[in-house]
Chains A and B, each alone.
Chain A
Amino acid sequence: METVPTEMVDLDRERLLEAALTQLGERGRGAMSVSGLAAAADASVEEFSTAYPDLDSCLADAYELLTRRLFAAIQAGCAADDELPTASERSWAARVRRGLEALLGGLVDDLGAARTLTITYPSLGPVEQARYQGFVEAIAALMREQWKADGGAGDLPDEVEMLAVGAAEAIVVEEIRAGRGGELRRMAPEILFSVLVPYLGAAAATEEMERARLDR
């Protein structure tokens, strides 16, 4: 029996997942169908059925793809870079800033996906809400890891990373919901303040915010 090359299967699957995200954002889950989604992805219903038992499984994979891409962008932004010329550019706060800017840039560049990420998909039910919460908590875990790796100390509360990430999440979701998602890149310095302040305190977080404003 002739087999389809793995790369081709992966390519088709990715196209299917992209189409699922687009349709969810544009039409909502209620107006989606397997046949409509398969057609949008240039696939047949049979091919869809080989890959997924139902629409919700496909949406779960599509959401996973979306969150994985954003998380990778944040991780790349936060990565330590010894090549950077100044100590302030190599600092933990500067890495957090680059990670935040990567996230906000990704959201602003595709506002439809941003809405799907934060509102449309989590609204589908408890399982979907838990996946969104998992994505947000993964960012908090990344912050914890980076803070520890940087030797961050101080008698800070146990939940400091959740306070930091929750602050950014609340502002971001409110802006997206209000149709002002396009403003997020401009708001990056003040969102940075809210992310850094639980770690550094108001004075140092204000300095970082001002530095980010000047660099724009």
Chain B
Amino acid sequence: MGTRGTGPGHRPATACLLAPSARERLVAAMAATCAEHGYRAASVEDVLARTGLPRQAFDEHFADKAECAIAALDELLSETTQAVSRAQAPEFADWRRLLLATRALLELLAAQPSAARLALIEARTAMPAEAYDRYAAGIRVLVALLDRVRTYADGGAPASATRGAIGGAELLIRRELLAGREDRLPELLPDIIYGTVVPFLPQQEALRYAALARELLSDGG
């Protein structure tokens, strides 16, 4: 087999190693198109127009619009899992892990507002069932994170309280995404931390964690 070819994996000799691949460009363009028009109205043609790539390039990587949009969700889900994992250093106390993981997640969503919108808005209602499964998987990552806090609870909170706590954060994030204020997402950290721990800890302690989150924001540390 020769070293030069014309198949999907081939790149011209002038291609920069760091430049996004056609697949990456298509995935990013799909997220941006869905953010602008909604998943239902988004078309492969819109995606191609954003990238300047030919239809053949799309067909080499994806069977249809849904597969490409789900690839965008998978990328965000993978990055979410990595961001949360990085905050789980064993030397940190549980509250600090939660704080750092939540901050990392908000920064990730702020940096990728189109993918965030696809995951938190479109996948929840407008996309095929496979996409909802990805959304639900992302929620499970967060539930697992919160369940560590739950071990400190004295038992009063019902089973649905964890889902509710994440729901409060989601509503705030969706508000900012829909208003195009994604840059403000990291500023929500203190309120989101409060909302996620208050079902499980004494209220004064939850307020103290919100204060610590404010300190973390102002220190930038």
Contact = CB atoms under 8 A, between A and B. Distances in A.
Interface stretch (A67-75, A98-106, A153-161): A153-161
Contact of B158 (A119, A120, A190): A190
B199 A162 contact: no
Contacts of B132: 177
B209 to A, nearest CB: 11
A100 to B, nearest CB: 12
Given A162-B171, A163-B191, A202 B164 contact: no
Contacts of B198: 197-198, 201-202
B186 interface: no
Contacts of A203: 156, 202-203
Contacts of A165: 168, 171
A157 B195 contact: yes
A201 B175 CA distance: 24
Contact of A170 (B37, B126, B167, B199): B167
Interface of A: 118-120, 122-126, 129-130, 133, 136-137, 140, 155, 157-160, 162-171, 173-174, 177, 187, 189-191, 193-194, 197-198, 200-203, 205-206, 209
Interface string B34-61: 0011101100000000000000000000
Given A162-B172, A166-B169, 6 more contacts: A124-B40, A133-B174, A133-B175, A173-B124, A206-B156, A209-B158
Nearest to B206: A201
B167 A171 contact: yes
A193 B191 contact: no
A85 to B, nearest CB: 28
Contacts of B172: 159, 162-163, 166
Contacts, number: 139
A177 B123 CA distance: 12
A170 B135 CA distance: 13
Interface residues of B, number: 45
B167 A168 contact: yes
Contacts of B170: 166, 170
B216 interface: no
B160 interface: yes
B168 A166 contact: yes
Contacts of B207: 155
Interface of B: 36-38, 40-41, 121, 124-126, 132, 153-154, 156-161, 163-172, 174-175, 178, 188, 190-191, 194-195, 198-203, 206-207, 210
Given A159-B191, A170-B163, A193 B168 contact: no
Contacts of A125: 37-38, 40-41
- What are the 6 A-B residue pairs with the smallest beta carbon separation, nearest first? A170-B167, A166-B171, A201-B203, A194-B164, A167-B164, A163-B168
A193 B160 CA distance: 9
B191 A166 contact: no
Nearest to B172: A162
B164 A171 contact: yes
A189 to B, nearest CB: 8
18 contacts: A124-B38, A126-B36, A133-B175, A157-B190, A157-B194, A158-B191, A159-B195, A162-B171, A164-B168, A165-B171, A168-B167, A171-B163, A189-B158, A194-B199, A197-B199, A198-B168, A201-B202, A203-B156
Contacts of B188: 159
A137 B160 CA distance: 21
Q: Which of B37, B168, B191, B202: most chain A Cβ within 10 A?
A: B168
Nearest to B156: A206
A202 B201 contact: yes
Contacts of B169: 163, 166
A173 B201 CA distance: 26
A115 to B, nearest CB: 10
